[in-house]
A and B are shown apart, each in its own frame.
Chain A
Amino acid sequence: MDRAIAAAGLGDVLSARRAGAISDDHLARLRAADLLALGALADRVRTEEVGAEVRVYTGGGGDVDARLVAFPRAGEDLTGLELLREIAVARVAGHRGARIRVDWTISGLELAQVALAFGANELAGRIATKRGLAIAEGELAGVGKKSRLESARVVKQRELAGLVERAGRVPVFVHQDLGAAVPDAIRQEAP
């Protein structure tokens, strides 16, 4: 991996990142870099600084601190490729150990999953209805109408857990009422 980063001419940027010395020149080169080389660098930095865990906020918001960078940002209208680039640049040039979050209700689940390979380490989005659930219909067969919302949440959380795991990462659902990460029952049920 480091060899691929070096081959793309970004080896010194990785060294600078490790030393906490990203300069304007580094930033300019990041912005001009090949997207996948940039993604490889961002993923390396993510691995070193925040590990494989992906926090998943299903209440739509979640706790906020100075290290949090949420995408897509208000007022921006980015293409999928631009979003991946911005996330990767934020990972490499931002705070050490930054929390880089993607709102999957805006970006779509597909892009949110891909973003995990470009430096993101949090997903957020409110599960409010069963609409848009790719696997909900079969799962919900036989479930009474009043119970459907709860069941949809269960199904959606399982789907999110699967997305994260199939991106090679470890999902941790965050119970936002408590403001702390706790293992979710769904996580334990996931295959």
Chain B
Amino acid sequence: MTLDAIREKLHARERLSFEDGVTLFRHPDVVAVGQLANEVREGLHGDRTYFNRNMRIEVTNVCVASCLFCSFAKLEEGAPDAHTMKLQEAWSELEARLEDPPAEIHIVNGLHPGLPFSYYEELLAGFKRIKPDVHMKCFTAVEIHFFATHYGMTYLEVLQRLRRAGLDSLPGGGAEIFHPEVRSRIAHDKATADEYLEVHRVAHGIGMKTNATMLYGHIETFEHRVDHLIRLRTLQDETGGLQAFIPLAFHPDGNAMRNLLAPTAVDALRTVAVSRLLLHNVPHVKAYWVSMTPEVAQIALRFGADDLDGTIVHETIYRAAGSRSPSGLTVDHLVRLIQEAGRVPVERDTFYSVVREYPRAALPESAVKVRDRKANKHLEVLS
């Protein structure tokens, strides 16, 4: 299959095959692949490029799973650097930011074996008490699966109880690579691919939106990546509940796969582009700036991505794995990154409703300047 043949399929609105996906990953010309993805992106969203005001909290890094790629988790309470927040500690993170509050709180944790389920219910309820309209995007499908097995409930029961406590949607983490040849080696003791997908299916069944991810750039092949994307596409055909796909670049520092090289910028751009092309039925593809650096994420806005995620404040999982990205960005800087890319910044809520649309850059792309990029001093780090 040639790139021209794939272009014709896209123009005919035919879905791409497994072989097409592998061809796109293997094609020597990443710019040509990016062009195709950009066409699809502009067809869906024009120049609109989304971001939100969000806040990351990891309430515990104690985790019974032993994923090889993880630099964040500690196996047990009391281990060096292990931490579990008291509820008030977690709520204080929001209370401290009420002057410029986030619209969304994104919580992802380790699989802690010693906490009662009520801890998570109270956690959600407490945030809602402080700010009733804040959107709680919490707990990966892997965590939901853990809750179900650990506390003896069905996925539906877990989701319904958490929803009653304040849960609004699920983030996409924990997908890693679905194919068992890879998953059994890097994440053998947590939810399987089928279990991950089933949690999302159940969530969609009760009207809850979710995101999905893929951790790429370690021991997987291009075939494994395409398999992963097609499994997500199949789920989306069935439920329509996925809002966004987020490719996550593997970072090797401080984990059991530290001898591997991190994926390069070209691989990051190619993966964004192929994801956009294969996942025609998922509305949004994110260039997660924490994973790929703000500069490469900005370029990715020309390779198929239409969303930069958000202000984040403050991410710790990627930083533990050696990410050199800042831990948070201001709204002004996200707007500027998008404007510099010749796009139209749109602040959104979690469901992609428009909060505010910003103008295009007042100056042409070539005239917009930033200062001292090398040192990233133009990025005002929030924490």
Interface of A toward B, CB cutoff 8 Å = 1, 3-4, 31, 34-37, 39-40, 43, 77, 79-82, 84-85, 106-111, 113-114, 116-118, 134-135, 137-138, 159, 162-163, 166-168
A-B pairs, top 10 by smallest CB distance, nearest first, are A110-B265, A39-B31, A36-B35, A168-B28, A80-B295, A138-B258, A166-B264, A167-B266, A40-B31, A117-B31
Cβ-based interface call for B182 (8 A): no
Q: How far is the CA of A61 from the CA of B324 in the complex (A)?
A: 27
Q: How far is the CA of A63 from the CA of B265 in the complex (A)?
A: 28
In the complex, what residues of B have CB within 8 A of residue A109's CB?
265
> A14 to nearest B CB, angstroms?
14
Would you call A43 and B31 a contact (CB within 8 A)? Answer: yes
* Contact A36/B296 with A4-B35, A79-B368, A113-B264 known, Cβ cut-off 8 Å: no
Would you call B30 and A117 a contact (CB within 8 A)? Answer: yes
Q: How far is the CA of A34 from the CA of B343 in the complex (A)?
A: 12
Would you call B264 and A167 a contact (CB within 8 A)? Answer: yes
Would you call A108 and B264 a contact (CB within 8 A)? Answer: no
Q: How far is the CA of A114 from the CA of B322 in the complex (A)?
A: 21
In the complex, what residues of A have CB within 8 A of residue B31's CB?
36, 39-40, 43, 117-118
Total A-B residue contacts, Cβ distance less than 8 Å? 108
Cβ-based interface call for B13 (8 A): no
In the complex, what residues of A have CB within 8 A of residue B368's CB?
79
Cβ-based interface call for B187 (8 A): no
Would you call A113 and B265 a contact (CB within 8 A)? Answer: yes
In the complex, what residues of B have CB within 8 A of residue A135's CB?
252, 261-262
* Contact A159/B261 with A80-B295, A168-B28 known, Cβ cut-off 8 Å: yes
Cβ-based interface call for B371 (8 A): yes
Would you call A84 and B261 a contact (CB within 8 A)? Answer: no
Q: How far is the CA of A79 from the CA of B32 in the complex (A)?
A: 22
Q: Which residue of A lies closest to B36 (CB)?
A: A4
Q: Which residue of A lies closest to B26 (CB)?
A: A168
Q: Hey, what's the 0/1 contact readout for B149-160 against A, CB within 8 Å counting as 1?
A: 000000000000
Q: Which residue of B lies closest to A167 (CB)?
A: B266
In the complex, what residues of B have CB within 8 A of residue A137's CB?
253
Q: How far is the CA of A5 from the CA of B307 in the complex (A)?
A: 27
In the complex, what residues of A have CB within 8 A of residue B295's CB?
80, 108, 110-111
